[in-house]
Amino acid sequence: MKKIFALLFVLFSFSFLSIYSQDMNPDAGKLYNEGNSLLKAGNYNGAIQKYDEALKIAKDYRILYQKGLALRKADKLSDAKLALEESLQLSPNNEAALNALGGVFFAMKDYLKSIETFEKVINVSKNNSFKDKVKKNMSLAYTQLGNEAMKGGNASKAIEYLNKAVELDKYDSAFLLLAQLNVELGNYDAAIKAAEDALKYRNKITKGGPNYYIALAYKNKGDMAKAKEYLNLAKTDPAYKSTAEYQLNLLK
């Protein structure tokens, strides 16, 4: 099976909402603001230290939230998860903390838990722009689940996850996986439609993949002229050049 999906290093936008230190204990607030400056400067361990000092004075959900972000940036995922969960115990509907926790679950490759957490964000948020960004994150998580199901040989589950991904966001890699999967399952019209959508909404992927799977679908449908047309398009993509040329040679 040709690998068409590469794991994206997704930077989840944890800081959609600014959380200020008003009404915080003054001493804790001073340390909190110092931690925020260090976090912004990329000194994650220094920021964590300041937040820990602030938490000794006041156990505040905002401090725990920022600590969770710093821990995530420092790639201390288990500790980030604990800090964000503790923040949410104090402020259960804090959409910024929920979104950050969803991002941590994604980084931990717990995609189902990530989706569950992002759904909570959508349920509590009244900011439509924010919710649209969260839906993109959910789409990425469903795409990862679809990719895993494909690798595990569970085609029906893969299609279910990938369809959810493209319902949430017109994600080009999800459409491309659907094209590949439908070719393998013999659903050639569905494969062509998915590949055309991958081209229509193309953002990260190259054109070679969609053109290649359109060509395979037409080949299997018996339309060799269309198959050759799209294989010639696919071979202009370095990633698909040798595979497309191999298929063209089979059609001679």
Here the CATH number for the domain that contains residue 137 is: 1.25.40
Distance between CA 226 and CA 154 in Å, rounded?
A: 30
Distance between CA 191 and CA 245 in Å, rounded?
A: 20
Is there a contact between 14 and 99 (Cβ–Cβ < 8 Å)?
A: yes
The total domain count for the chain is 3
Whether 76 and 114 map to the same domain: the answer is: no
Whether 191 and 153 map to the same domain: the answer is: no
Whether 206 and 226 map to the same domain: the answer is: yes
Whether 112 and 190 map to the same domain: the answer is: no
Q: Is residue 222 part of a domain?
A: yes
Whether 43 and 28 map to the same domain: the answer is: yes
3 state DSSP class of 19 = coil
- 21 DSSP assignment: -
Whether 179 and 239 map to the same domain: the answer is: yes
Q: Of 58, 91, 124, which marks where a domain is finished?
A: 91
Whether 184 and 251 map to the same domain: the answer is: yes
Q: Is residue 27 part of a domain?
A: yes
Whether 164 and 174 map to the same domain: the answer is: no
Is there a contact between 78 and 71 (Cβ–Cβ < 8 Å)?
A: no
Whether 87 and 136 map to the same domain: the answer is: no
pLDDT value of residue 14: 40
Distance between CA 87 and CA 182 in Å, rounded?
A: 44
Whether 246 and 176 map to the same domain: the answer is: yes
Q: Is residue 77 part of a domain?
A: yes
Is there a contact between 96 and 16 (Cβ–Cβ < 8 Å)?
A: yes
Q: What is the dihedral of CA 208, 209, 215, 217, to 10 degrees?
A: -170
Distance between CA 69 and CA 14 in Å, rounded?
A: 7
SS3 content of the chain, % helix, strand, coil (to 5): 75, 0, 25
Give me the CATH number covering residue 68. Answer: 1.25.40.10
CA 88 to chain centre: 22
Whether 164 and 228 map to the same domain: the answer is: no
Q: Is residue 2 part of a domain?
A: no
Predicted confidence pLDDT, tens digits, the chain (252 residues): 344 333 333 334 344 334 566 688 999 999 999 999 999 999 999 999 999 999 999 999 999 999 999 999 999 999 999 999 999 999 999 999 999 999 999 999 999 999 999 999 999 999 999 999 999 999 999 999 999 999 999 999 999 999 999 999 999 999 999 999 999 999 999 999 999 999 999 999 999 999 999 999 999 999 999 999 999 999 999 999 999 999 999 998
Q: Of 153, 168, 183, which marks where a domain is finished?
A: 168
What is the value of pTM for the model shown?
0.87
Give the DSSP letter string of 95-130.
HHHHHHHHHHHHHTT-HHHHHHHHHHHHHH---HHH
Distance between CA 141 and CA 143 in Å, rounded?
A: 5
Q: Is residue 36 part of a domain?
A: yes
Q: Is residue 188 part of a domain?
A: yes
pLDDT value of residue 21: 63
Whether 195 and 159 map to the same domain: the answer is: no
Q: Of 123, 147, 168, which marks where a domain is finished?
A: 168
3 state DSSP class of 48 = helix
CA 175 to chain centre: 14
Q: Is residue 100 part of a domain?
A: no
Q: Is residue 69 part of a domain?
A: yes
Domain limits for position 68? 23-91
pLDDT value of residue 154: 96
